[in-house]
Structure 1
């Protein structure tokens, strides 16, 4: 269809509070949510910002009727390569769904579908409450929650989706539904871990908690030389089974061309007193890191402060980022030492891959276990389609560059590293957190073979035309 026809339809049929933008108009760039990752980007001819749930229904129904690809966007940080399949599509920008409220007495937060993690963190903190948020504050709550949503409070509370009480969703059939523990329970299960396959969520309602430790956390960043890597991996291995619920860890490794060596940054966030936090990371401090920065800050500031504020800086700039990921359920110090050496050998001689960042994220497992399907059922609640709740290191490679021409080299090197990690773990089947996916691993890797038949049944019921098929999609199974 012609762009003008699409834009005219929405101008004529959406409510007055909505807006419609032709993306070829330079002025549209400031009116719609920008995309962070420039790799495998979707392209749009029209961007629509609906004002009401009924407007969202009209956009979805129109796209389905006219067979036009579309994508619902919130924070703009989803980076799966599957999104590149959208060509000349419609951007369904949730920017007008931007309110948040906290009911202090009931410990309930309701948040619009476009809000970021920092938005909800600030709202909760202002009321003396807390909830799990991820380690990049600019990420939208929509994509994070629908894939599970993990962060430094996961050891205490589990996933963001574990705290979900309900959602308002427009499904692929155009229905506006509420899914919760009492309504559309099976859909609610699927939404919590694979939700972007079934519809566009306009509102999320979460259970929030009284914030521990008066809302203060320790943030510690430590830098180590490549030669110290085995001691770092030994610490990671020790923590995999014994990590305090209050502690989260991120290990980030890259080749630094300025010092011509591997640099390893360890970030630790501890939900407790400064003295307790320092005691927990004492084994790392005894390794005599080349740099240490420790701060004691309100918890919403932790993601922006972490890793020497690099996540905050890079998340505000559009990058070419080619991702790869693999879940690790055990730590082989020998294998990680060999990987560190391999990273040095390749990156030190090949400038094209020097933007490769390898990260290992470790959250304490208590919150994941406490919200397993069995324990949720015992509390009369619906479980979750999120499949991987055992003690896990979420390993990732980020092929980062401001030069798009380096994407293929970064892609190949990232795949090579994750293949080495998978082999080192003793696993034969790739498993990974879907929000970290490159996009070619397949639904069994993202959602598990065990969950897939149940998710496919939901797909047939709520998205029979398969219009929600561009973010790590589930087929109908038929």
Structure 2
């Protein structure tokens, strides 16, 4: 390299660094300028952080706000939204911070409205309804329900925000008997793009109610909600579950068994391709779940057991321990650009290709040893019985939701990690048994066509978007406009 060229490169790098520093300074300065004004309108329970780190489950394509407002009082949400909208400041609401898609555009000029401190949970007198705020996670609601001799519908990861998952549909271990999480909603407290508050129900505003239940992030902010809850004494609130470990040579037999399996209301299944430390040797893990006794559970999942696991750690667990196996997934940070496919059929040959791709990726990149292929399979009868006319969530007939999760620290691996995720999706999508790619919004990557996310609900959702969010304030999560 010539001296002149070297001098030019150094100069450009210096300019780039200077611009970056200048951008951050401008963002911090802007935040400091309006932080005082915001402080005058919100309660002392809420705090404003300028230039702080916004910790999320995945750092890949994560929003990079100039300011984070940590909400301590529910009424403050509408005040922050009104403040931001009046000044055309972009904003994003955040509950658990687990959303991983690449559709975020929020940068240093924007605000994250962090609702993780909103943790109130109350049951009505006969415990058939539970009211909870937007910061409540699966772990929070399970603990409250367990202590009240109640069962509430929750997802499989303890750290995930209940409302964040629900407004995209909400998969649940108990959706066999009760339907999806979105089907548990009775009412929501809602804030629109101008900061106006109201309570929304199926009767008060049927169109908005339908849109919120599946595409909620595009239509406003839900600060709290009322769910159905179900009286179940602790001594009856039990399920048979746990890990079955298999040799990879059994993949075809396992996938054939899953494809043939009819998931009755009490049944659910997770399965993983995972590499356990310290050697990070790829492993096949099945996690059957049955609402009932061990004897009945083993009978219902007999086809999986007949394949012959190398190890069996299943047991009858109480409701408050059902999600323990997924706690490792709650580790925040790192880069996790994930890719999802909805399956109505499970093709053994396709899954052999996925295994080979997974094993090859880990061999080439041992630094990505926590990379995982996760698949969740559910009973669909109750969800189909309730029907899509009740909500905008479109894929009630999907049996299994598969997601490839590359997991690593170094951004230089982004290209190969994304190529790996895309290959997994490309293996599974053609044999999924669906009319085209279908991806559950809470698992999807962000590069999919909108039809793959919103299905047949898309045209109506786009019409309603113009009515309920004409200024496009809510355009950070798989935007409809």
Assess same fold via TM > 0.5: yes
- Structure 2 counterpart of 1:8, from 27, 36, 47: 36
> Which consecutive unaligned segments of at least 5 residues does structure 1 have?
375-382
Shift of 1:455: 1.2
SS in 2 for 1:331: coil
Q: Is the 8 A contact 1:36 1:77 kept in 2?
A: yes
Q: Is the 8 A contact 1:355 1:410 kept in 2?
A: no
**Residue of structure 2 equivalent to 1:456:** 462
- Structure 2 counterpart of 1:472, from 465, 474, 478: 478
**Residue of structure 2 equivalent to 1:322:** 337
**Residue of structure 1 equivalent to 2:57:** 36
Shift of 1:17: 2.6
- Structure 2 counterpart of 1:232, from 254, 258, 262: 254
- Structure 1 counterpart of 2:444, from 437, 448, 454: 437
2:235 equivalent to 1:220: no
- Structure 2 counterpart of 1:23, from 29, 38, 51: 51
**Residue of structure 1 equivalent to 2:384:** 369
Provide the C-alpha distance between the structure 1 equivalents of 2:34 and 2:254, rounded to a whole number of angstroms. 55
Shift of 1:390: 0.9
Per-residue CA deviations over 1:147-201 (Å, capped at 9, x if unaligned) read 0111211111111110100000101132212111221121111111000111111
- Structure 1 counterpart of 2:272, from 207, 228, 252: 252
Provide the C-alpha distance between the structure 1 equivalents of 2:290 and 2:433, rounded to a whole number of angstroms. 31
Give the structure with the higher percent strand: 1
Provide the C-alpha distance between the structure 1 equivalents of 2:211 and 2:444, rounded to a whole number of angstroms. 18
Q: Identify if the C-alpha distance between structure 1 residues 353 and 4 changes in structure 2 by more than 3 Å, giving closer, same or farther.
A: closer
2:134 equivalent to 1:128: no
The within-5 A match list for 1:15-414 is 15-24=43-52, 34-105=55-126, 107-211=128-232, 214-239=236-261, 242-254=262-274, 262-304=282-324, 306=325, 311-349=326-364, 351=366, 355-373=370-388, 383-414=390-421
Using the TM superposition, name which of 362-371 and 418-427 deviates more: 418-427
Shift of 1:317: 3.5
RMSD between superposed Cα atoms in Å? 2.2
Paired residues, number: 452
Which is higher, the Rg of structure 1 or of structure 2? 2
Q: Is the 8 A contact 1:64 1:465 kept in 2?
A: no
Provide the C-alpha distance between the structure 1 equivalents of 2:410 and 2:206, rounded to a whole number of angstroms. 46
SS in 2 for 1:470: coil
Q: Is the 8 A contact 2:65 2:106 kept in 1?
A: no
Shift of 1:84: 4.9
Shift of 1:64: 1.7
Provide the C-alpha distance between the structure 1 equivalents of 2:126 and 2:416, rounded to a whole number of angstroms. 54
Shift of 1:324: 0.3
Shift of 1:344: 3.3
Q: Identify if the C-alpha distance between structure 1 residues 372 and 104 changes in structure 2 by more than 3 Å, giving closer, same or farther.
A: farther
Per-residue CA deviations over 1:340-363 (Å, capped at 9, x if unaligned) read 334334543454665532222101
Q: Identify if the C-alpha distance between structure 1 residues 292 and 104 changes in structure 2 by more than 3 Å, giving closer, same or farther.
A: farther
> Which consecutive unaligned segments of at least 5 residues does structure 2 have?
1-26
Per-residue CA deviations over 1:365-424 (Å, capped at 9, x if unaligned) read 1221232146xxxxxxxx100000114211110011133332221111101110111123
Per-residue CA deviations over 1:18-40 (Å, capped at 9, x if unaligned) read 2222234xxxx6xxx73111111
Provide the TM-score with structure 2 as the length reference: 0.88
Provide the TM-score with structure 1 as the length reference: 0.89
SS in 2 for 1:81: coil
